[in-house]
């Protein structure tokens, strides 16, 4: 009798393993659930990765590493602190790869904050006022204007918050989801603590850290 697992080609399982970073057994189960559709299986693993990340989100991340990325002949540089729960995980190839990928992403995408909760009240209100004025100019009623503002704020967060941005190497995955994949694989909570981005000749630079870090240093 042919079982479901017999119908899933081992090469397909390996391809999903390479794409997602998830264990082989989980890749096989995901492929079985969606009858061998690798893209759908990837979505299944992403959802499970996020669930795994959420379960571990309350766990302290007091270890980790600092990574850097230099671009354009040293004209653009990024420093980032990525935290995890143990030195063992911090030294793994998976963690170091994530560190380098996020540093490179920051160099390319220039986020201003780590996550939406870090956006200052002043910046938040300024953006909302701009969007309200734009929506009001169309003559739409107040309830519709607020819905428009909410939609534009979601886009704003995606543009300026590191964790909400689509990963430059795979636009289907956000940085938050990229981290969640590693959390699922490594079994530890992983968080971005802070980063800095400098560009030679630029009139300003970006230094961002989570509010939790700010509170701890006050």
What angle in degrees, to the nearest 10, is found between the helix axes of 175-186 and 38-56?
A: 80
Lowest-confidence range among 34-38, 75-79, 111-115?
34-38
Give the CATH number of the domain where residue 130 resides: 1.10.286
Closest of 114, 120, 117, 116 to residue 81, by C-alpha: 114
CATH of the domain at 47: 1.10.8.10
The structural domain count of the chain equals: 3
Q: At residue 191, does pLDDT exceed 60?
A: yes
Residue 19's domain spans which residues? 4-56
At which of 56, 72, 100 does a domain end? 56
Q: Is 165 in the same domain as 213? A: yes
| Residue 199 φ/ψ, nearest 5 degrees | -135, 125
CB contact at 8 A, 63 and 83: yes
pTM of the model: 0.75
pLDDT digits (tens, 9 = 90+) for 51-71: 777 778 888 899 999 999 999
41 in the same domain as 22: yes
pLDDT of 168 strictly over 80 = yes
- Same-domain pairing of 171 and 99: yes
State the angle between helix axes of 93-109 and 175-186 in degrees (0 to 180), rounded to the nearest 10: 180
Q: Left, alpha or beta for 36 (phi > 0: left; psi -120 to 50: alpha)? A: left
* Domain's final residue, options 40, 56, 72: 56
pLDDT tens digits along 98-132:
999 999 999 999 999 999 999 999 998 999 899 88
Average per-residue pLDDT for the chain: 87
* Residue 115 zone, left/alpha/beta (φ > 0; ψ -120 to 50; rest): beta
Task: Evaluate if residue 215 carries a pLDDT over 70.
Answer: no
Q: Are residues 99 and 174 part of one domain?
A: yes
């Amino acid at each position: 009798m042919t079982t479901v697992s017999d119908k899933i080609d081992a090469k397909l399982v390996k391809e999903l393993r390479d794409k997602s970073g998830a264990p082989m057994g989980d890749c096989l189960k995901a492929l079985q659930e969606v009858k061998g559709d690798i893209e759908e299986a990837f979505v299944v693993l992403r959802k499970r990765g996020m669930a795994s990340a959420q379960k571990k989100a309350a766990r302290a991340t007091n270890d980790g590493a600092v990574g850097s990325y230099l671009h354009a002949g040293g004209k653009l540089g990024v420093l980032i602190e990525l935290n995890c729960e143990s030195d063992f995980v911090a030294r793994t190839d998976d963690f170091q790869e994530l560190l380098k990928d996020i540093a490179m992403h920051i160099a390319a995408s220039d986020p201003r904050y780590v996550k939406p909760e870090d956006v200052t009240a002043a910046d938040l209100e300024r953006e909302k006022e701009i969007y309200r004025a734009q929506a009001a100019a169309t003559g739409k009623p107040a309830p519709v204007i607020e819905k428009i503002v909410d939609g534009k704020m979601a886009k704003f967060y995606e543009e300026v918050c590191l964790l909400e941005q689509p990963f430059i190497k795979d636009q289907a995955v956000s940085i938050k989801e990229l981290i969640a994949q590693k959390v699922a694989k490594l079994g530890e909570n992983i968080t971005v603590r802070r980063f800095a981005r400098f560009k030679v000749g630029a009139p300003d630079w970006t230094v961002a850290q989570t509010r939790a870090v700010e509170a701890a240093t006050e």
